[in-house]
Chains A and B, each alone.
Chain A
Amino acid sequence: MAGILVYALHSDENEFNANSLGAISEAAKLAGEIGGEAAAIVVGDVDDATCASLGGYGASKVYRAKSVPEGLAQPIVDAMAKVIADNDISYALFGGGLLGFEIGAGLTARLGAGVTMEVTAVRADGGKLVAERPVLQDSAIVDVGYVSEPAVIIGRLNAFDAVEGEGSDAEVVDVEVELSDFSSGATMVKRGESGEGGGVDITDADILVGSGRGFGGEENLAIARELAESLGGEVAATRAIVDAGWIPYATQIGQTGKTVAPKLYLAAGVSGAIQHKVGMQNSENIVAINKDSNAPIFEYCDLGIVGDLHKILPKLTEAIKAKKGQ
């Protein structure tokens, strides 16, 4: 049947994740090319209309596993493995995100399936799918084919655009899933919520000062704030400094943070790891200040300064203020 099954991740408010919607649109396009259908799987107590609305993105069917909790991978592996087996599905596709990695990996083991991750494009070739994956800090792109089906494709963040079309409501099919004994060994005590970034929405800002571990400590972020203020922008962050507790999660850019595309992204003390890059690479102008000339960010910035941010940032702030007559 050559079907493609997409995991549609949702928040506690039953709002679907944008990357999941993108994966559904991508699956619909690809399914047409390999002669199959695109379906989605939704876990938890999500109402009919919300599930059916995925038809708008190209899903013809939505499998709903009501008894399976959202947010942890292993019960969802159980659900997807069952739906894949019962419906002769050839590919499992995930939009960018951490859960996609975990579920996709679990399915790989469960089904003895091939997996490709960080996929930036998928194409159909002779009725089969070929995934394109950048490797080695994006210095090469490998085309990966699968020697057997089912197969697993995990997209990179923002790889697939959500296309809301004329599609009619998807058919909602309830599935009963028996969980594996070990799948309930991990339980959610408290699921994350995006929280407040001090009233700031970094996705709205025209100018962002990206700050990373190179600041050396929470107390030094003041110089990032002063620079951002002089530019009329906001401070954004890498996961490294959010994990370290220097700055709220709401300011994080990247794979498990926000996606931004400001007019100017000025990064200081940020190495530019792939998981960060995927959240900011569409910025119009990227400036990087880093003391390591080998930092990956120098591969994709428009202006790069090899130097110490502690020396450069205060003077830059002064100079900008002077220019603006502040």
Chain B
Amino acid sequence: MKICCLVKEVPDAAVQKRIDPETKRLDRSGENTLNQFDTHGIEAAMQIREGGVVDVEEIVAVTMGPGSAQRALHKAVALGADRSVHLSDDVLAGSDVCATGYALAKVLEGESPDLVLLGQQSDDGECYTIGAVVADHLRMPSLTQVIKMDVADGKLTCERQAEYGYDTVEVRLPAVISVGDAINEPRYPSLKAIMGAKKKPLDTKAAGEVGIESGKVGEAGSRTQVLAINPPPEKEPGEIIEDEDTNETVEKIVAWLEERKLI
């Protein structure tokens, strides 16, 4: 079995994220890192490999992004992927969900995986949609937000929460699955794995090499257009207390609640 894990480079959680008013795109200057949610996808792949029920020949990390996105791939490899593929091309810049999903599907087509794993969301885009877009292009069954996954006999038995509670769903392979962050506790990479990550094979692909039609990606291929960026409605900021002396803090909370007749 071959597993492809989609991973994304996102601004570090500590970085104040903002949209560039000129380009109307996310300002990607500053520290970037591997999307935390994607580490659960890699861990899920590793657990399938180590589970021994099926033979996992290869775990491939795949990303689409600018040159710096290589670092996210190095991290993915340090966490267990065997090699990685970097789709990088100027024509891809400014791709919306529709275009990104199409482009990623094209790279994956070339890999013919038995299972594609994604994170539940990208920390910057927060679209929750790429998995289902990719699946439709690949014509594979799919499920998102999966928190339990057992593999056997060419199919997965998955659990995930939807509007009415936990569904149990059987998914035939090949399939595209996005995993929720409760599915596992990702391991820390060993120092040796971190050091070795840069030596593992990394393929950089241009759009044309994977058969991407340039009219379907980037700004030209995007079907949405950001018309304006506005600040959210003003809201009175809440009162913030730093807990230094807990007895005092508690007194303040109680007084606050009493004032509002909540006790």
Contacts and interface: CB of A to CB of B under 8 A. Distances in A.
B242 A306 contact: yes
Given A102-B144, A142-B229, A108 B238 contact: no
Interface stretch (A43-51, A58-66, A69-77, A83-91): A69-77
B161 to A, nearest CB: 5
A135 interface: yes
B112 interface: no
Nearest to A305: B241
Interface in B137-188: 137, 139-145, 147, 157, 161-172, 175, 180-182
Contacts, number: 277
A301 B238 contact: yes
B230 A115 contact: no
Interface stretch (B64-72, B75-83, B85-93, B249-257): B249-257
A71 B166 CA distance: 11
Interface string B185-200: 0000000000000000
A71 B167 contact: yes
Contact of A108 (B26, B133, B163): B133
B116 to A, nearest CB: 13
B246 to A, nearest CB: 5
Contact of B164 (A189, A192, A244): A192
B249 A192 contact: no
A223 to B, nearest CB: 13
B17 A108 contact: no
Contacts of B170: 186-187, 189
Given A97-B163, A98-B162, A187-B169, A117 B230 contact: no
A182 B140 contact: yes
Nearest to A300: B235
Tell which of B98, B130, B164, B246 has the most Cβ of chain A within 10 Å: B164
B121 to A, nearest CB: 9
Contact of A134 (B165, B167, B232): B232
Nearest to A120: B232
A108 B105 CA distance: 13
Interface residues of A, number: 95
A306 B223 contact: no
Nearest to B101: A109
A139 B225 CA distance: 19
B262 A207 contact: yes
B263 A243 contact: no
A154 B184 CA distance: 29
Given A105-B131, A115-B224, A306 B240 contact: yes
A110 B19 CA distance: 29
B232 A189 contact: no
Given A115-B129, A145-B227, A319 B251 contact: yes
B97 A115 contact: yes
Contacts of B169: 72, 186-189
A92 to B, nearest CB: 13
B144 A98 contact: yes
A209 interface: no
A183 B132 CA distance: 12
B136 interface: yes
Contact of A144 (B142, B164, B227): B227
Tell which of A99, A105, A116, A319 has the most Cβ of chain B within 10 Å: A105
Given A99-B162, A108-B98, A185-B172, A140 B241 contact: no
Interface in A133-158: 134-148, 151
A112 interface: yes
Given A147-B224, A192-B166, A303-B253, A117 B232 contact: no
A109 B262 contact: no
A113 B124 CA distance: 22
A185 B228 contact: no
Contact of B129 (A77, A105, A183): A105
24 contacts: A11-B164, A73-B142, A102-B132, A105-B133, A109-B132, A114-B96, A134-B232, A135-B126, A145-B224, A146-B223, A147-B222, A147-B224, A185-B141, A186-B142, A186-B169, A207-B262, A231-B262, A239-B161, A243-B182, A285-B262, A300-B238, A304-B239, A307-B241, A308-B243
Interface of A: 9, 11-12, 17, 71-74, 77, 97-99, 101-106, 108-110, 112-118, 130, 134-148, 151, 180-195, 207, 231, 239-240, 242-244, 249, 256, 263-264, 274, 285-287, 293, 298, 300-308, 311-312, 315-316, 319-320, 323-324
